[in-house]
Structure 1
Amino acid sequence: MYKFNVFTGTLLLIIAGLTGFAQPGPAQRKSIDKVAAVVGAAVILQSDIEQQYVKYLTEGGKEDDNIRCYILQQLLTQKLLSQQAIIDSITVTDDEVDDQIDRRMRYAINRMGGPDKLEQMLNRSILQYKDEIRPEVREQLVADKMQRKITEKVTITPLEVRRFFDAIPKDSLPTYNAEVEVGQIVTYPKPTRAEKEIYRDKAEALRLRIKAGEDFGTLASLYSQDPGSAANGGDLGFIDRGSLDKNFAAQAFTLKEGEMSQTFETDFGFHFLQVLERRGDQVHARHVLIKIESTPGSLARTKGHIDSIYTNVTTKRLPFSTAASLYSDDQETKYNGGVMLNPENAQARTTYIPTDKLDVSVFSAIDTMKVGSYSHPEIFTSADGKQGYRFFYLKSKTNPHKASLEQDFPKIKDVAMEDKTNRTVSQWFEKRRKTTYTKIDPEFQACESLKIWVKEQP
Structure 2
Amino acid sequence: MKKTVNFYLNKSRNIYTLAALLFLSGIAPTAKAQVVVDKILAVVGSKIILQSDIEKQHVQYIAQGAEDNSQTKCLIFDQLLLQKLLLNQAEIDSVTVSESQVDGELDRRMRFYIKQIGSEEKLEEYFHTTIRELKAELRDMIREQLLVQSMQSTITKDVVATPSNVREYFESIHPDSLPYIDAEMEVGQIVRKPPVSDSERKSVKARLEEYRKKIMAGEDFAVYAALYSEDKSTAKKGGELGMFERGTMVPEFEAAAFNLRTGEVSPIIETKFGFHILQLIERRADQINVRHILLQPQTDEKDLYKSYALLDSLRKQINLGTISFDEAAQKFSDDEETRNNGGLLVNPETGTTRLSPDKMDRLLFFQVDSMALNTVSMPLGMATAEGKQAYRIVMVKSKNLPHRANLKDDYQKIQEVALQQKQNELLTTWVENKKSVTYIHLNDTFDNCEMLKAWTNSGIKQ
Bin for the TM-score computed over the shorter chain: 0.7 to 0.9
Aligned to 2:248: 243
* Conserved? CA contact 1:6–1:143, under 8 Å: no
Aligned to 2:163: 158
* 1:72 maps to 2:77: yes
CA distance in 1, matches of 2:443, 2:400: 53
Aligned to 2:208: 203
| Structure 1 residues 138 and 270: CA distance shift in structure 2, 3 A | closer
Q: Aligned AA for 1:218?
A: V
* Conserved? CA contact 2:33–2:55, under 8 Å: no
SS of the residue corresponding to residue 232 of structure 2 reads coil
Aligned to 1:416: 418
| Structure 1 residues 63 and 335: CA distance shift in structure 2, 3 A | same
| Structure 1 residues 167 and 380: CA distance shift in structure 2, 3 A | same
| Alpha-carbon shift at residue 158 of structure 1 (Å) | 1.1
SS of the residue corresponding to residue 344 of structure 1 reads coil
CA distance in 1, matches of 2:89, 2:383: 52
Aligned to 1:192: 197
* 1:292 maps to 2:271: no
Q: Out of 395, 409, 415, which is 1:393 matched to?
A: 395
| Structure 1 residues 295 and 358: CA distance shift in structure 2, 3 A | same
Q: Deviations for 1:430-458, whole angstroms, at most 9, x for unmatched residues?
A: 45557779777676455342354567799
| Structure 1 residues 378 and 80: CA distance shift in structure 2, 3 A | closer
SS of the residue corresponding to residue 364 of structure 1 reads helix
Q: Aligned AA for 2:164?
A: L
| Alpha-carbon shift at residue 410 of structure 1 (Å) | 0.8
Structural mapping, 1:24-423, within 5 Å: 48-49=50-51, 51-57=53-59, 59=61, 60=63, 64-78=69-83, 80-81=85-86, 89-92=92-95, 113=129, 146-279=151-284, 282-345=287-350, 349-423=351-425
| Alpha-carbon shift at residue 94 of structure 1 (Å) | 10
The structure whose Rg is larger is 1
| Alpha-carbon shift at residue 153 of structure 1 (Å) | 1.8
* Conserved? CA contact 2:243–2:287, under 8 Å: yes
| Structure 1 residues 56 and 252: CA distance shift in structure 2, 3 A | same
| Structure 1 residues 65 and 85: CA distance shift in structure 2, 3 A | same
| Structure 1 residues 227 and 9: CA distance shift in structure 2, 3 A | same
| Structure 1 residues 395 and 195: CA distance shift in structure 2, 3 A | same
Aligned to 2:7: none
* 1:3 maps to 2:15: yes
| Alpha-carbon shift at residue 316 of structure 1 (Å) | 1.5
TM-score, with normalisation over the residues of structure 2?
Answer: 0.76
Aligned to 2:34: 23
SS of the residue corresponding to residue 271 of structure 1 reads strand
| Structure 1 residues 179 and 430: CA distance shift in structure 2, 3 A | same
SS of the residue corresponding to residue 208 of structure 1 reads helix
* Conserved? CA contact 2:23–2:57, under 8 Å: no
Residue segments in structure 1 that go unaligned for 5+ positions in a row: 13-20, 119-125
SS of the residue corresponding to residue 287 of structure 1 reads strand
| Alpha-carbon shift at residue 200 of structure 1 (Å) | 2.0
| Structure 1 residues 301 and 85: CA distance shift in structure 2, 3 A | closer
* Conserved? CA contact 1:90–1:145, under 8 Å: no
SS of the residue corresponding to residue 391 of structure 2 reads strand
CA distance in 1, matches of 2:247, 2:347: 27
SS of the residue corresponding to residue 390 of structure 2 reads strand
* Conserved? CA contact 1:187–1:327, under 8 Å: yes
Residue segments in structure 2 that go unaligned for 5+ positions in a row: 4-13, 25-31, 111-123
Q: Deviations for 1:200-235, whole angstroms, at most 9, x for unmatched residues?
A: 222223223323332211111111101221111111
- Figure out how many residues of one structure are paired with residues of the other and give that number: 419
SS of the residue corresponding to residue 266 of structure 2 reads coil
- Segment drifting more, 283-292 vs 232-241: 232-241
Q: Aligned AA for 1:189?
A: P
Q: Deviations for 1:86-127, whole angstroms, at most 9, x for unmatched residues?
A: 8xx51356977x969x97xx99xx867479x99xxxxxxx9x
* Conserved? CA contact 1:69–1:447, under 8 Å: yes
Q: Aligned AA for 2:375?
A: S
SS of the residue corresponding to residue 343 of structure 1 reads coil
CA distance in 1, matches of 2:387, 2:47: 53
Q: Deviations for 1:388-420, whole angstroms, at most 9, x for unmatched residues?
A: 111111101000001111101111111111111
